[in-house]
Structure 1
Amino acid sequence: MKRSFSRLMVYILGMLSFLLVFAGILSGCSQEPVKKADAAAVNGTEVTLVIGAYSIAKDALADILPKFQQQWKAKTGQTVKFQQSYEASGTQARAIIGGFEADVTLLAMEGDVDKLVKAGLVGKQWRNAPDQGMITRSIVVLGTREGNPLGIHDFADLTKPGVKVLYPNPQTSGGAQWDINAIYGAGLKLSEKQGTKDPAYAKAFLEKVHRNVESLDKSGRASMAAFEYGVGDVVVTYENELLARIKQGKKYDVVIPEYTIKIENPAVVVDKYADQHGTRKVAEAFVEFLRGKEAQTVFADYGFRPVNDEVFQANASRFEVPSGQFDISYLGGWDEVRKTLYSKKGVWYQVLAGL
């Protein structure tokens, strides 16, 4: 009965999340394309910059956008206004491809930017930017209730009977793909301790964790909302997502697994739309601002690991580097991961289907 009630609440939360996201899209995106010939933009006194970002970046950007407005105003005399949309990373990328004319996008993973490249919206050279186009880093961690009542210490503990796990759906969420990559990669690392790197062992490890999953939410933010409401015992998520909530007074424990993946998040100018709108100059300046000390300090305050070396060193004591940390190259790179894990016959879909 308890489990049925829990699933009912997850369904209700999911529907509320969908309605809120839908309302946000309607308010943030015009039914007609954003027009280039805006009078204020033409006469140079005002420019509108359209931002399409993945949901977890929303809180940090709320502090960063006004800082950029002040800098740009002082530098050029021009007032920047923002239109903003926040969605799960994969959903946001599909919206931009489908006609949401974002000038700049911040996404959870480089694969979602590559989708924009294939659609002819972003240039192939986007990785030539500093830090290969990345603006923040993080790691996949485990969030537990205050005091860690179930004694969760690693991904292996998520396989225990009765442990209720939350993570989002990798079909819609870039953050979820990082979560699955972390669990699968941890399985590979564990198999190496027993002999050789064994994909079959890693798949079985992922299957055991997935059996305990309470719900697959649309985004990392939706999973956290469910966890805050009381659903589940453990949430698999970005480190920064938990640290930001703890800063707000939430009572959670952060568990850093021995083997977990380094997350890297890109930001790019959407070339086609920025050129159409005449906003390239301000769009490029905004992305550059995101890499600068002021914005990187804000990102660090919200629990992101800065790409700016000076800011990272200033915050190094806050960010433990796990002994078994690996990056996407350990899994063969994103092309290999998409083929191995997320293709129609990939590991993730086999796990879902119980194959």
Structure 2
Amino acid sequence: MNNRTSRRRGAGRLLRAGLLAAIFGWSLAGCGGAGSADAPGPDAVSESQDSGTATLVIGAYSVAKDALQQILPAFGKEWEANTGQKLKFQQSYEASGTQARSIVGGFKADVAVLSLEGDMDKIVKAGLMSDNWKKTDTGGMITRSLVVMGTREGNPLGIADFSDLARPGVKVLFPNPKVSGGAQWDINAIYGAGLKQAERKTGRKDKEAAKAFLSAVYDNVESMDKSGRASMAAFEYGVGDVIVTYENELLARVAQGVHYDIVTPGDTILIENPAGVVDANADEHGVREAAEALVAYLRGEAAQEVFAEKGFRPVNAEVAARHKDKYKTPEGLFDIGYLGGWSQVRANLYAKRGVWYQVLAGQ
């Protein structure tokens, strides 16, 4: 059976996995189901605001759901204590790229919590928010993580690095980068690891070698789902041997009693996740002050402790210092700057004829 046929069959297995995963507790709302009770559609508008009550509409990427559902009530209590105004929250959770397109398309989110800077840029380019969202001491970022690998308990295939994902017979899962910010981080990590390996051998970043490395991994991809959370649901159901995902996603599941081995590659990328006020919507709804306060709160100690408990690497220095023993730094860690920054990554990797297109096309 060739790899393309395997992937088509994998897609069918993934559909069944998604349905069963929902039955076993991975609600489709957690993956951003459009019809979920906590996910208003693109035409959703906040309730009328008055001095006694207000509604904040939150558009977030799916992996942040567990942390935000703990953080938002705590912020609401603090806001009411400080201002006397009671806050309600409408929440939508989708793959990051889907969420950004939804906001651009008319979903009236007051605050965007997304997986990557490029998705925020889509909202900026649509004229809905200012690029001032970046002007904080963390560059607009509220969490960090790493791209790592999760294996079955005991790591039966002996997976140690990204290069092992290209071995014959290893079935790999990561989401679809067309809709998932997490998938773009995954691909950036694998491609960047290829550059690192070439640089150690030849003293230069060999883009063709990195593309070949990414292509070899892609040939073993069993299926690509719409979000990191949906891929995790499929993996838990039994699809694949190795999942490439956020470190925080695996740490959170292990903390809940799921038995995985977490493998941190020697060369991998530092993930940074942003949040910002969607100015046009917050102003329209009369909630700018509350929206700005929420984004600031997400960078503060209380929220950062929750993020750290959920497996994210804190951006707050004091909280990061308290958790330094939990989060080690791999020797070959690099950030998006190693790949030239997001504008170059979009042009090089994800443009219509870019590296990822060429890998998909077998070129």
Shift, 1:13, TM fit: 3.4
Residue 52 (structure 2) pairs with residue 45 (structure 1): yes
In structure 1, what is the equivalent of residue 16 of structure 2? 12
In structure 1, what is the equivalent of residue 178 of structure 2? 171
Matches of 2:41 and 2:211 in 1, distance apart?
43
Which of 218, 222, 225 aligns to 2:226? It is 218
CA contact (8 A) 2:11 2:224 kept: no
Paired amino acid for 2:70: D
In structure 2, what is the equivalent of residue 263 of structure 1? 271
Q: Mind listing any 5+ residue stretches in structure 1 that lack a counterpart?
A: none
User: How many equivalent pairs are there?
Assistant: 350
Q: Please show how residues 27-106 of structure 1 align to structure 2 within 5 Å.
A: 28-29=39-40, 32-35=43-46, 38=48, 41-42=49-50, 44-106=51-113
Residue 333 (structure 2) pairs with residue 325 (structure 1): yes
CA contact (8 A) 2:28 2:36 kept: no
Paired amino acid for 1:279: V
Paired amino acid for 2:194: G
Which of 342, 355, 358 aligns to 1:347? It is 355
CA contact (8 A) 2:60 2:99 kept: yes
Matches of 1:222 and 1:182 in 2, distance apart?
20
Shift, 1:33, TM fit: 4.5
CA contact (8 A) 1:165 1:233 kept: yes
Report the TM-score when normalising by structure 2.
0.93
In structure 2, what is the equivalent of residue 289 of structure 1? 297
CA contact (8 A) 2:142 2:299 kept: yes
Paired amino acid for 1:86: Y
Shift, 1:197, TM fit: 1.4
Task: Considering fraction of residues, name the structure with more helix.
Answer: 1
Shift, 1:126, TM fit: 1.9
Paired amino acid for 1:10: L
Residue 241 (structure 2) pairs with residue 233 (structure 1): yes
1:194 is paired with a residue of what secondary structure? helix
Shift, 1:66, TM fit: 1.3
CA contact (8 A) 2:44 2:108 kept: yes
In structure 1, what is the equivalent of residue 149 of structure 2? 142
Paired amino acid for 1:151: G
Matches of 1:333 and 1:306 in 2, distance apart?
21
Which of 125, 133, 155 aligns to 2:162? It is 155
Shift, 1:129, TM fit: 1.9
Residues 289 and 121 from structure 1, CA distance in 2 versus in 1: closer, same or farther, beyond 3 angstroms?
Answer: same
Q: Mind listing any 5+ residue stretches in structure 2 that lack a counterpart?
A: none
Deviations 1:133-171 (A, max 9, x none): 000000100000111110000000001000000000100
Paired amino acid for 1:322: P
CA contact (8 A) 1:93 1:115 kept: yes
1:298 is paired with a residue of what secondary structure? helix
CA contact (8 A) 1:14 1:217 kept: no
Moved over 6 A (4+): 15-19
CA contact (8 A) 1:55 1:221 kept: yes
Q: Please show how residues 300-311 of structure 1 align to structure 2 within 5 Å.
A: 300-311=308-319
RMSD, aligned α-carbons: 1.8
1:132 is paired with a residue of what secondary structure? coil
